[in-house]
Amino acid sequence: WAVYIGDYTTDVAAFKAAHALREAGECASFSLGVVDAESPPDVAAYASGTVSSISEVEAFLAWVLSKLSASST
């Protein structure tokens, strides 16, 4: 699994790369864009999903960890 979290135009290339890896079947990937009123439009356009704050990123990561912990039991 590859997870990439970003909030700016410079992160869009990584979002695209994660998508390409997923489409090629090379690995599972998910890109999370942190988007607010000032975010460049490409962040939301190329992210697999979006959140609107750092606290939502923390909640997403806690959810991922809970799923990983549950799958290892």
3-state helix, strand, coil in the chain (%, to 5): 55, 20, 25
The phi, psi pair for 28, rounded to 5°, reads -75, 140
Give me 53's structure tokens: 């704050």
Residue-wise pLDDT for 12-64, tens only, equals 999 999 999 999 999 999 999 999 999 999 999 999 999 999 999 999 999 99
| Entry pTM | 0.86
Residue 73, pLDDT score: 67
pLDDT band at 71 (very low <50, low <70, confident <90, very high): confident
Q: Which helix (H) or strand (E) holds 5?
A: strand 2-6
Distance between CA atoms of residues 49 and 35, nearest Å: 10
Contact in structure between 4 and 21 (CB atoms under 8 Å):
no
